[in-house]
Chain A
Amino acid sequence: MLDFPRWKVWGISLICLIGVLFAVPSLVPAREVAKWPAWLPSAQINLGLDLAGGSHLLLEADTSDLAKTRLEQMEERVRVGLRRESPPIEIGEISTAGGRLSFMVRNPAQVDAAVDFARRQTQPAGLGPRDWNVDVLDQNRIVMTPTQAGLDQGLKAAMDSAREVVYNRVDPSGTKEVTVIRQGEQRILVQVPGLQDPEGLKKLIGKTARLEFKLVDLTANPEQVAQGRAPVGSQVLPMQGGGAMAVKRRAIVTGEQLIDAKQSYDQNNQPVVSITFDSSGAKAFGRVTRENVGKPFAIILDNVVLSAPNINEPILGGQAQIAGSYTVQTANELAVQLASGSLPIELRTIEERSIGPELGRDSIYWGSIAAMAATAAVILFMLITYGRFGVYATIGLVLNALMILAIMSIIGASLTLPGIAGFVLTIGAAVDANVLINERIREELRAGRRVMDALEAGYREASTAIFDANITNVIAAVLMYVLGTGPIKGFAVVLMIGIVTSVFTAVNVTRMLVALWARRTRPRELHI
């Protein structure tokens, strides 16, 4: 017991010191921390949304849509691509029924060339399979079936880029501490601390924002358009404010060719969105407008025609304005959406939680008061029960609390309400470890051991129970962390950290304190 080597004393003291240093920033207001010299630790503990206030949205992608889009894109590629082959390959009976693309090659001699073309459109998806299977049926019918691996790969790519887009929309300036992470295969979690009303957020995220400029098909028969039928190569789209319009399928330019979008005003001082195309977009836009002066083109957002202005003169600078009945705010929203790119997949909110920041502040205030009162109660109890050893236990407890804070701020884990429950449990475990040791020392003294032997035996014999009790809790915490969702994870994180620190402080730190005291005073009897 007495031979407590110097390096150990230094090691334990150093760890405690570091723990305290890193805990301090979390205990003082942020503006104080900002004044400190840079070499001092400044990371504060992250408060979960339930404590800090803010919005939490869980978005889920509509995957049925993704398969459909992929099919449509493949259809378009095949249609256009085969026509451009030399010699052109003529096809017919194109169908996308049953989630497969099938078409007939009119000239049987070109089947091989068509299959070759179709194969070139596919890509490897992971190891082995490609994203589409190409088969020939009845000699001249080619069937392209999306493979599961291809769909998975497509989903993954779409989700990655959707995450990016959502992030850019939520925090265009990149200054807020927002969290946008992928969760599972088709979900995105968005957390914005401090934001009370997530309505604006949901509006921003809720739109796909696919912008297209297309020529209006003037040859279409208005009666047929009203029935939803369009000439070959055109499609019927609804118009904002009612009605429908036939437009060419081929887009002149799309939102992908945008380099900038911002809110501004037109000559009548109405809010509009000004957009700038990149060079390829500007070139295409210039060419088409030059060839179609006097004819209208349609500005289409998410398959709705916003407006169809006439081309008065060629538009060469790659700049355009989107007018509609916008307010400054809605024009701003659209600008952010366009600038961040279109969502490759539709997202829906399936879980929403928002906590008013004031309520969160209330929770923290009363939570800290209560936590202090709780700690004070425990400390008082330890002191009247164990005297000097109660003081050591108290030092251990306080260090334990500080070290949990320190580790959580270092690794950036969030403290939530369930986390506070975990905190209480680890404080309980730390108290228990001290109680186990002290009761054991009492017992050993009663059994007639001398002071030093009793101290030694107390720590030694109590440690197996402490060890087993804590390992079982670690097992539980790890399982909960791996399997649990939100709140349970928050609980498990604190528990895992707290178990490590409580064993360290309750066993190593108090043991050191006791050893140093015993070495100095050589007590002949113990009051415990």
Chain B
Amino acid sequence: MRLLKLVPDNTNLDFMRWRNVALVLSIIVTVASLALVAVRGLNLGVDFVGGQMITVKFDQTAPLEEVRGTVSSLNVGDASITEFGNPQTLSIRMGLPDEGGEGAATRVATQVRTAIAAKHPDAKFTVDSVSGKVSNELYKWGAISVALAMLGIAIYIWLRFEWQFGVGALVTLFHDVCMTIGFFSLTQLEFNLNVVAAILTIVGYSLNDTVVIYDRIRENLRKYRKMEIVPLLNLSLNETLSRTMVTSLSIMFALLALLLIGPQVIFGLTIAILLGIFVGTYSSIYISSPILVWLGVSGDSFLPKHTTGSAAKGGERVATPNEGY
């Protein structure tokens, strides 16, 4: 049986030739993402702004107008009632009550739910009711944990590799996170705690990609100490290209399956991760690698730790006909 080869053997693509174009592109998209978030904002879920969100699932098509009437007759303040995912499901979003203290959010949610249940005994509810205090904390600690996780990773990579690699990884992660948040601002998909989990998944994947390529760069830096940095990066990227493609594609297939038949609730989550795989694959080639050039990584950056073994191996490799450099 002939096995599938996504990438022909011994590719010799000049990735780094486009690094300045990619840099400009990335900067534009990153700035655009940040600007988008600043101007248009995120559709923050109740996790982060407080208030209540009630989703009601009916057995038949949801009586949107009737529910609007019911809710407005309760006099509980402005409510935004929309279809949610499919015609049977409604989402009722309400802000935090102005008065009544911390417990008020949950009280209003109860009122709405009781009123709808009285008319539609078959309705199934999901209630998220978060007071302002809790949502502030969720926001704060969500941000802190993402930021510290990124920093911790950068420090580890700095210790395992060199400081340039640590900086490279950090910038890459920043790029990926900006891009994802920009996507959520653009689509106005709800940004909630589950999305934070998605961002963390993207960070994890992108990092995995970056580390694999860095690992190969380190190996080649030790092996070919005379080689210029740009061809060395190209060599490393080409050597790992097959792996990059196979891994990315197989995960994308998995995500497509989740996206197409997975439950409604994780749609936002899955689409974010899918996007993140694209971005993560791109950034590990075009962000994390060129940064090493700009930060002045060279053949001297790694003094071999096991002089004899490494030299012997290097000698052997240079002698093989495939290495055309």
Residue ranges of A at the interface with B (Cβ–Cβ < 8 Å): 50, 58, 60, 196-197, 199, 202, 348-356, 358-359, 362-363, 365-367, 369-371, 373-378, 380-382, 384-387, 417-418, 420-422, 424-425, 427-429, 431-432, 435-436, 439, 442-443, 446-448, 461, 464-465, 468-469, 471-473, 475-476, 479-480, 483-488, 490-491, 495, 527-528
Tell whether, in the assembled complex, residue A417 and residue B269 are in contact, meaning their CB atoms are under 8 Å apart.
Answer: yes
Interchain CA distance A461-B216 in the complex, whole Å = 10
Residues of B within 8 A of A348 (CB): 101-103
Q: Contact between A476 and B153 (Cβ–Cβ < 8 Å)?
A: yes
Q: Which residues from chain A contact B5 at a C-beta distance below 8 Å?
A: 385
Q: How many residues of B contact A (CB 8 A)?
A: 87
| C-alpha spacing A384/B102, complex, angstroms | 57
- A374-B257 in contact given A196-B125, A495-B204 (Cβ < 8 Å): yes
Closest to A375 in B: B254
B6 to chain A, nearest CB (A): 7
Which chain B residues border A439 with CB–CB below 8 Å? 240, 242-243, 246
Nearest A residue to B272 via CB reads A421
Contact: A374 with B254, CB < 8 Å?
A: yes
Point out the residue from A199, A370, A490 that lies within 8 Å of B114, measured CB to CB: A199
A427 contacts which chain B residues (CB < 8 A)? Answer: 254
- Determine the residue in chain B with the shortest Cβ distance to A363: B263
Q: Are A350 and B102 in contact (CB under 8 A)?
A: yes
- Which residue in B114, B131, B266 is a CB contact (below 8 Å) of A350? B131
* Residue among A349, A488, A495 making CB contact with B193, cutoff 8 Å: A488
Q: Is the CB of A479 within 8 A of B3?
A: no
Pair B254/A418 contact, Cβ less than 8 Å = no
Q: Is the interface of A mostly helix, strand, loop or mixed?
A: helix
**What is the interface of chain B, defined by CB distance below 8 A to chain A?**
1, 3-6, 9-10, 57, 101-103, 105-106, 109-110, 113-114, 124-131, 133-134, 137-138, 141-142, 144-146, 148-150, 152-153, 156-157, 160, 193-194, 196-198, 200-201, 203-205, 207-208, 211-212, 214-216, 219, 239-240, 242-243, 246-247, 249-251, 253-258, 260-263, 265-266, 269, 273, 317, 320-322
7 closest A-B pairs by CB: A418-B197, A374-B254, A370-B262, A373-B257, A356-B124, A465-B215, A377-B253
- The answer to whether B262 and A351 touch across the interface, beta carbons within 8 angstroms, is no
Measured between alpha carbons, how far is A401 from B181 in the docked complex, in Å? 30
Contact among B124, B129, B157, B240 for A359, CB-based, below 8 A: B124
Q: Contact between B204 and A468 (Cβ–Cβ < 8 Å)?
A: no
Known: A377-B256, A425-B205, A471-B156. A417 touches B265 (CB 8 A): yes
* Residues of chain B contacted by A197 (CB below 8 angstroms): 113
Question: With A348-B101, A350-B131, A417-B265 as given contacts, are A377 and B124 in contact (CB-CB < 8 Å)?
Answer: no
User: Which residues of B sit under 8 angstroms from A475, Cβ to Cβ?
Assistant: 149, 152-153, 156
- Looking at B6, B255, B317, the one whose CB has the most chain A CB atoms below 10 A away is B255
Contact between A370 and B257, CB atoms less than 8 A apart: yes
Q: Given that A354-B127, A367-B263, A370-B263 are known contacts, is A436 also in contact with B239, CB under 8 Å in the complex?
A: no
- What separation, in Å, do the CA atoms of A23 and B42 have in the docked complex? 40
The answer, among A385, A468, A469, A485, for a CB contact under 8 Å with B141, is A485
Residues of B within 8 A of A362 (CB): 263
Q: A378-B253, A446-B10 are contacts. A487–B109 as well, Cβ < 8 Å?
A: no
Given known contacts A202-B110, A476-B203, what 5 new A-B pairs fall within 8 Å (CB)? Answer: A358-B57, A380-B253, A418-B194, A431-B247, A439-B240
Structural contact, A432 and B208, CB atoms closer than 8 A: yes
Given the complex, which residues of A lie within 8 Å of B133, measured CB to CB?
60, 350
A sample of 15 cross-chain residue pairs with beta-carbon separation below 8 angstroms, ordered by A number, consists of A351-B106, A354-B127, A366-B261, A370-B263, A374-B255, A374-B258, A378-B254, A385-B5, A387-B1, A421-B269, A432-B243, A487-B193, A491-B197, A491-B200, A527-B1
| Chain A residues, CB < 8 A from B153 | 472, 475-476
Which among A352, A374, A380 is the interface contact of B127 at CB below 8 angstroms? A352
Q: How far is the CA of A465 from the CA of B114 in the complex (A)?
A: 56
- The answer to whether B203 and A353 touch across the interface, beta carbons within 8 angstroms, is no
When distances are taken between beta carbons in the complex, the residues of chain B under 8 Å from A381 are: 246, 249-250, 253
- Given A373-B261, A425-B201, A479–B145 Cβ distance below 8 Å? yes
Chain A contacts of B256 at CB under 8 A? Answer: 377
Given contacts A350-B102, A374-B255, A377-B254, contact A488 B200 (CB under 8 A): yes
A427 CB → nearest B CB, Å: 7
Per the bound structure, the CA–CA distance linking A488 and B254 in Å amounts to 22
Q: Are A424 and B201 in contact (CB under 8 A)?
A: yes
Contact A420 to B266, CB < 8 A, known contacts A350-B133, A352-B127? yes
Q: Which residue of B lies closest to A470 (CB)?
A: B208
B266 touches A469 (CB 8 A): no
Give every chain B residue within 8 A of A443 (Cβ-Cβ): 239
Alpha-carbon distance A476/B215, docked complex (angstroms): 19
Contacts of B254 in A (CB 8 A): 374-375, 377-378, 424, 427-428
Decide if A487 touches B197 in the complex (CB within 8 Å).
Answer: yes
Residue from B106, B113, B125, B146 whose CB has the most chain A CB atoms within 10 Å: B106
Is A351 a contact of B197 with CB atoms below 8 Å? Answer: no
Would you call A476 and B263 a contact (CB within 8 A)? no
Which residue of chain A has its CB nearest to the CB of B2?
A: A527
Q: Is the CB of B134 within 8 A of A421?
A: no
For B103, list chain A residues within 8 Å (CB): 348-350
Taken together as a complex, chains A and B put the C-alpha atoms of A354 and B114 apart, in Å, by 14
Residues of chain A contacted by B144 (CB below 8 angstroms): 483
- Complex partner residue of A421 from B10, B131, B273, CB under 8 angstroms: B273
Distance between Cα atoms of A442 and B124 in the complex (Å): 54
Q: How far is the CA of A484 from the CA of B1 in the complex (A)?
A: 49
The interface residues of chain A lying within 8 Å CB-to-CB of B201 are 421-422, 424-425, 491
CB-CB under 8 A from B141, the residues of chain A are 483-485, 488
B126 cross-chain contacts in A, Cβ below 8 A: 353-356, 359
Q: Which of A356, A418, A428 is close to B251, meaning CB atoms less than 8 Å apart?
A: A428
Complex Cα distance, B42 from A490, in Å, reads 24
Chain B nearest CB, measured from A253 CB (Å): 31
From A351, A359, A380, A479, B149 is in contact (CB under 8 Å) with A479
On chain A, the residues within 8 Å of B255 by CB distance are 374, 424
Nearest chain-A residue to B146 (Cβ)?
A480
In whole angstroms, how far apart are the Cα atoms of A391 and B65 in the complex?
55
Minimum CB–CB distance from A46 to chain B (whole Å) comes to 18
Quick one: which of B208, B260, B321 contacts A473, CB cutoff 8 A? B208
Of B1, B137, B194, B269, which is in contact with the most chain A CB atoms at under 10 Å from its CB?
A: B194
Residues of chain A within 8 A (CB-CB) of B148 are 479, 483
Whether B265 and A363, one on each chain, are in contact in the complex, defined by CB atoms closer than 8 angstroms, is: yes
| Distance of A354 Cα from B262 Cα, bound (Å) | 21
Task: Name the residue of chain B whose CB is nearest to the CB of A480.
Answer: B145
Contacting residues, chain A, for B125 (C-beta < 8 A): 196, 354, 356
Chain A contacts of B127 at CB under 8 A?
352-354
How far is B239's CA from A82's CA once the two chains are assembled, in angstroms?
Answer: 88
Question: Are the CB atoms of B152 and A476 closer together than 8 Å?
Answer: yes
Q: Give, as a whole number of angstroms, the nearest-CB distance from A376 to chain B.
A: 8
CA distance A365 to B129 in the complex (A): 26
Establish whether residues A358 and B211, one from each chain, have CB atoms under 8 Å apart when the complex forms.
no
B145 proximity list for chain A (CB < 8 A):
479-480, 483-484, 488
Indicate if the CB atoms of B194 and A527 lie closer than 8 Å: no
A342, B208: Cα distance in complex, Å: 53
A217 → B minimal CB distance (Å): 33
Q: Which residue of A lies closest to B241 (CB)?
A: A439
Among candidates B102, B113, B157, B253, residue contacting A472 with C-beta atoms closer than 8 Å: B157
A369 to B257, CA, bound (A): 9
Q: How far is the CB of A232 from chain B (nearest CB, A)?
A: 35
Q: With contacts A356-B125, A374-B257 known, is A472 near B156, CB below 8 A?
A: yes
How distant is B191 from chain A, measured CB to nearest CB, in Å?
13
